[in-house]
Structure 1
Amino acid sequence: MSYGFSVYFGLDNTKEENINLLKDAHKLGFTRIFTSLHIPEANYEVLKVEVREFFALAKEYNMDIISDISPNTFKFLDLENMDLKGLKNMGVKTIRIDFGYTEEEISIMSKNEHGIKIQLNASTITKEFFETLDEFSPNYENIDALHNFYPRVETGISEECMVRKNEILKERGIKVCAFVQSNNRKRSPMKDGLPTLEDHRNIDVKKASNHLFAIGNDCVFIGDSLPSKQELIDLSSLDKDCVELRINLKTDDDICTKLLENKYSSRTDSARDAIRASESRLLLENNKIKSYNTVDKKYGDVTIDNEGYLRYMGELQILLTNQQKDERTNVVASVLQEDFYLLKYIVEGKKFCFNKI
């Protein structure tokens, strides 16, 4: 569920570009596609022709096609309102409720017999919405949520808003997704990018996606029309459960370098002055770490204790304070200053990993 891209028929891309995007994304492990079938600027004559061919190939790849729907969408597709079987026959697996449906209708659709999943608008939900929805006993196991993207500059939501909405959704076990923009071809008509967070406007895909995963989103979609192959690679390289930190190496020691290649969990008894890896000493096996680069330590430094620290040998930490040198502790790397902001998300039990620059 981790990666998705977007396609908009009858707008910026040719049919061939959309098909090639689908093929490239499929090869890289993308499993979800977002599309909207009610974009005012789209050429609907072109859209009608392209939709069915694209959907057929996506269905062949067993990809999850998510379509924004409203009563107008069914009309456009020559289907009866709420005809979920008709959507399934086209290849749609998830419908995102955009507007035009009551909480009762959403609940009814969540219990459909056609295997269609229901997706809520994560950016606009409220506690009051769920209080009403709960009255109709929806099937929450068949519901997830996707935040909006925001074409107009300065209208994207804040991180605080996203975290607040996500908490409401996760209280009900609902998985949450969000958008980052592409910097390759931005979607018409604004062409200012389609991120969820305003902080991510004009930010590269990997950095923005890593941030979204760090704050607890379960899936990231590239919102714009035609992401580059490199942007697809960058997103697919991320692990949604692991905060990736870019580091500069300060060691050529094989043992310590190998330790930096692992994924770690922050200890649940979090220290005041450092993020402590739960697993590093266990991974050391029978190796010995000699003392080297035992210099004064700074915020963001990555350290590994050497044999002088006895049973703590192999202890890996990311420092949250400046500390004096200690002959028992080697400074093996430093987190890039641009990634310092990610450290606050590595809370108790959170996984983290390193990307050597």
Structure 2
Amino acid sequence: MHRLGISLYPEHSTPEKDRAYMQLAAKHGFSRIFTCLLSVKKDAENTIAEFGSFVREAHELGFVVAVDTNEDVFERLGATPFDLTPFERMGVDIIRLDGHFGDQGDIMITRNPQGIQIEFNASCSLGLDLLIRRGADPRVMTVCHNFFPEPYTGLSEETFQARNAQYKGLGLTLAAFVSSREAETFGPWPVFAGLPTCEDDRRRPIDLQARHLLASGLVDDVIVGNCFASEDELAALAAVDTTRVTMRIDTVPDITDAEREVIWDFDHTTRGDASAYMLRSSWPRLAFKERPIAPRTWDDPMFHRGDVLVPNDNMAHYRGELEVALRDFENDGTRNLVGRIPAEELFLLDYIAPEHPFGFVRP
């Protein structure tokens, strides 16, 4: 099951602002909070007291809380891989390790008697399979990608996919970050260019960032890395269909009610006998076996990648099928153009495998 999360940085905010943001996110169904102890410089008792209060309030609203840590944080709090008492006092649910304690330490930290989940860095290539074979407990192990404040430093698509496959192959829950595009957002460090995991997501709308992460089929939890996202952004994330790859569509001005029905009233699944030229969803054909779809002329002699098409009465056997062009092919009058996928979303077509579900974002 997918979860949505927000990030909060209490040392750079106020309890009142944090509380209001948690309440807003909870209203939209968010259930994870990420926060960072790396940038906190207070002594152990003050840190435990302040973050303990923060965590209790988050729990009251139904959130699980992850804290980002490293060896310095452990030392400052008086914790070790063999003794997580300071984190237990804080009440945290997940300890994210931005650093490591050697194989033995990393194994033993997963065996903590408090049952605190241990989250490893999914953006690095770690031998977690070896740790599990040597005694680490996979039942408390998860992975979470980094976020990248500095422009042009986020993960490439190739690295993102490789790391995801590496850790999902172990059956571990995987989280990644999207970024609010609101002005004056912030994170744990004084860099303000957003906090995504993938570089290509940095300038995309927040719902498209999430649809990208989910399209990979390997990301479980989507977390907003910076704060504060607007309510519109939180609502847009909450509205994302997590069950399939979804794309926006710009419909043609003269689209008919029947063609709208084909687009939005069916669960689309690509055929297993896939074509290189188009995605095909054939189920709507059954509903239009005896119903007409009048041909409509389109001046362009070719269809292009991202064109959304519906066969018309000139190809009655396939009438009502929904098709999405993957490459250019001839417009021979047997298909009506009903819309186009926007250029910035065409990359999502690459994620739709044969026999996989897909759909379109309702306007």
Which residue number in structure 1 is paired with residue 260 of structure 2? 257
Q: Tell me by how many angstroms 1:280 deviates.
A: 3.1
Q: Tell me by how many angstroms 1:292 deviates.
A: 3.0
The aligned amino acid for 1:220 is V
Indicate conservation of the 8 Å contact 1:291/1:327, yes or no.
no
Structure 2, unmatched stretches of 5+, are none
When residues 99 and 294 of structure 1 are mapped into structure 2, their CA distance, relative to the original with a 3 A threshold, is same
Pair 1:276-2:280 in alignment? yes
Deviations 1:153-179 (A, max 9, x none): 332221111111111112212232211
- Helix, strand or coil for the counterpart of 1:144? strand
Q: Tell me by how many angstroms 1:14 deviates.
A: 1.6
Partners of 1:40 and 1:116 lie apart in 2 by 21
Match of 1:292 among 292, 295, 316: 295
- Helix, strand or coil for the counterpart of 1:58? helix
Q: Tell me by how many angstroms 1:354 deviates.
A: 1.3
Partners of 2:251 and 2:290 lie apart in 1 by 20
Pair 1:340-2:343 in alignment? no
Partners of 1:181 and 1:31 lie apart in 2 by 17
Which residue number in structure 1 is paired with residue 242 of structure 2? 240
Which residue number in structure 2 is paired with residue 325 of structure 1? 331
Indicate conservation of the 8 Å contact 2:52/2:89, yes or no.
no
Match of 1:302 among 308, 316, 321: 308
The 5-angstrom pairing of residues 189-204 of structure 1 reads: 189-204=190-205
How many residues matched?
353
Partners of 2:322 and 2:164 lie apart in 1 by 31
Which residue number in structure 1 is paired with residue 87 of structure 2? 87
Partners of 1:277 and 1:62 lie apart in 2 by 39
Partners of 1:267 and 1:115 lie apart in 2 by 44
The aligned amino acid for 1:137 is G
The 5-angstrom pairing of residues 117-266 of structure 1 reads: 117-126=117-126, 129-130=127-128, 132-184=130-182, 185-187=185-187, 188-216=189-217, 217-250=219-252, 251-261=254-264, 262-266=266-270
Q: Tell me by how many angstroms 1:57 deviates.
A: 2.0
When residues 24 and 308 of structure 1 are mapped into structure 2, their CA distance, relative to the original with a 3 A threshold, is same
When residues 80 and 175 of structure 1 are mapped into structure 2, their CA distance, relative to the original with a 3 A threshold, is closer
The aligned amino acid for 1:264 is H
Q: Tell me by how many angstroms 1:145 deviates.
A: 1.0
When residues 73 and 233 of structure 1 are mapped into structure 2, their CA distance, relative to the original with a 3 A threshold, is same
Which is worse superposed, 106-115 or 77-86?
Answer: 77-86
Deviations 1:259-311 (A, max 9, x none): 322442222322111011254335x3776142232534332111122344344
When residues 103 and 351 of structure 1 are mapped into structure 2, their CA distance, relative to the original with a 3 A threshold, is farther
**TM-score normalized by structure 2?**
0.86
Indicate conservation of the 8 Å contact 1:147/1:178, yes or no.
yes
Which is worse superposed, 267-276 or 293-302?
Answer: 293-302
Pair 1:60-2:64 in alignment? no
The aligned amino acid for 1:226 is F
The aligned amino acid for 1:258 is E
Indicate conservation of the 8 Å contact 2:7/2:226, yes or no.
yes
Partners of 2:134 and 2:213 lie apart in 1 by 32
Structure 1, unmatched stretches of 5+, are none
- Helix, strand or coil for the counterpart of 1:260? helix
Which is worse superposed, 238-247 or 303-312?
Answer: 303-312
When residues 335 and 9 of structure 1 are mapped into structure 2, their CA distance, relative to the original with a 3 A threshold, is same
The aligned amino acid for 2:330 is Q
Pair 1:3-2:1 in alignment? no
Q: Tell me by how many angstroms 1:5 deviates.
A: 1.0
The aligned amino acid for 1:161 is T
**TM-score normalized by structure 1?**
0.87
Q: Tell me by how many angstroms 1:206 deviates.
A: 1.9
Partners of 1:171 and 1:95 lie apart in 2 by 22
**Identity between Structure 1 and Structure 2 (%):** 29
Indicate conservation of the 8 Å contact 2:34/2:67, yes or no.
yes
When residues 170 and 80 of structure 1 are mapped into structure 2, their CA distance, relative to the original with a 3 A threshold, is closer
